[in-house]
């Protein structure tokens, strides 16, 4: 069976990994190919700060909460492995600050040591009168994506730097299943009025600091990611000097020591924003034939937070297709 994954961000690579893990010993031969016009270090996942945290207000989406937790538990389990350093995964504690009382987040029982802030702690952050502290995880895209690619390459997965213009293109080249992990570009393959860009911009500096959400977070002790902005509907991937000024002034107000940090770079990217993640199967007609497609996109600004749970679900959907095609373990007996 030939599987074509479109997209080489954290969603595409982790989905390829989960499909390989679950089916390489069941389906023979199993060929997995990854197609993308951008690979690490040029993907949106590479620019993300990498702090594991869902949106504070997740609209009660039970399924996404489950996928978030599965991702946290998976990443936490890697800390006992020597691979965690290469993966860019490590524990990180920090503050969430609010100007008014807010409901406790859905992830409070997933993270470690969740608690509300004391009055003494709040005095450190003028203008904020509510919040909480917890320990979560960092997963740095610039380390994690190269690790995923190396993991896949060692197992025979092939990579092709090429922009896929249509599902038909892959169907005609012989793919049995297509996995659509193209993020904000998914609308180019199939119209989706619910998909919108959420432009982000961050500033990266070199220093050591604590984590203060939503302004400052640590990436190891090498680079600190400061930001950012969220501009729904803005397609620009160019850095904006006005946004830079706003980000920097607000960050320095909360953490004055930043004024002495050395700015390394500005970065802008487009979050694939949707009312909910699109993770489903679809049979698409391509002329006289059809192709099985699994859509896995629309993760907004929390792709690294939810990727493993979504990858496992995509692999489960892939298993349904395998059964339907009669290429599963029952067909081999």
Domains within the chain, CATH numbers bracketed: 1-50+140-194+275-333 (3.40.50.720)
For residues 228 and 191, give the distance between their C-alpha atoms in angstroms, rounded to a whole number.
Answer: 29
Binding site: residue ranges? Answer: 37-38, 44-45, 53, 182, 271, 300-305
Query: CB 220: neighbour CB atoms within 10 A?
Result: 15
Residue 48, token pair as written in the block: 């993300």
State pLDDT tens for residues 41-52: 999 999 988 999
State pLDDT tens for residues 284-299: 998 888 999 999 999 9
For residues 81 and 139, give the distance between their C-alpha atoms in angstroms, rounded to a whole number.
Answer: 14
State pLDDT tens for residues 230-247: 999 999 999 999 999 999
Question: Is pLDDT of 56 > 90?
Answer: no
Q: Are 283 and 291 in contact (CB under 8 A)?
A: yes
> Which residues have C-beta within 8 Å of that of residue 205, sequence separation ≥ 6?
223, 224, 226, 258, 261, 262, 263, 264
pLDDT at 216 (0 to 100): 52
For residues 93 and 111, give the distance between their C-alpha atoms in angstroms, rounded to a whole number.
Answer: 10
Residue 273, token pair as written in the block: 């924003």
Binding site for FAD: residue ranges? Answer: 37-38, 44-45, 182, 300-305
Binding site for D-dopa: residue ranges? Answer: 53, 271, 301
Q: How far is it between the farthest Cα atoms of the chain? A: 69
pLDDT at 254 (0 to 100): 85
State pLDDT tens for residues 112-158: 999 999 999 999 998 999 999 999 999 999 999 999 999 999 999 99
């Amino acid at each position: 069976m030939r599987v074509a994954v479109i997209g080489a961000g954290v969603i595409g690579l982790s989905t390829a990994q989960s499909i390989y893990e679950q089916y390489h010993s069941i389906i023979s031969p199993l060929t997995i190919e990854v197609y993308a016009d951008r690979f690490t270090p040029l993907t949106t996942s590479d620019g993300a700060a990498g702090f594991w945290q869902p949106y504070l207000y997740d609209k009660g989406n039970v399924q996404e909460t489950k996928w978030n937790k599965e991702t946290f538990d998976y990443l936490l389990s890697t800390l006992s492995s020597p691979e965690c350093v290469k993966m860019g995964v490590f524990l990180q504690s920090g503050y969430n600050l609010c100007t008014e009382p807010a409901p406790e987040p859905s992830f409070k029982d997933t993270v470690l040591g969740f608690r509300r802030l004391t009055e003494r702690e709040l005095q450190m952050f003028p203008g904020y009168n509510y919040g909480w502290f917890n320990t979560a995880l960092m997963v740095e895209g610039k380390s994690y994506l190269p690790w995923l690619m190396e993991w896949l390459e060692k197992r025979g997965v092939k990579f092709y730097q090429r922009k896929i213009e249509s599902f038909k293109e892959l169907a005609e080249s012989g793919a049995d299943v297509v996995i659509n992990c193209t993020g904000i570009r998914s609308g180019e393959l199939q119209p989706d009025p619910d998909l919108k860009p959420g432009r982000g911009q961050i500033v990266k500096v070199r220093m050591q600091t604590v984590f203060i959400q939503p302004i400052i977070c640590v990436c190891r002790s090498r680079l600190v990611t400061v930001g950012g902005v969220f501009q729904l509907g803005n397609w620009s991937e160019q850095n904006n000097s006005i946004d830079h000024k706003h980000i920097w002034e607000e960050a320095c107000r909360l953490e004055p020591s930043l004024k002495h940090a050395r700015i390394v770079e500005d970065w802008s990217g487009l979050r694939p924003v949707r009312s909910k993640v699109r993770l489903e199967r679809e049979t698409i007609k391509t002329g006289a034939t059809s192709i099985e497609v699994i859509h896995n996109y629309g993760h907004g600004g929390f792709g690294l937070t939810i990727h493993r749970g979504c990858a496992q679900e995509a692999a489960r959907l892939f298993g349904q297709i395998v059964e339907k095609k009669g290429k599963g373990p029952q067909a081999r007996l």
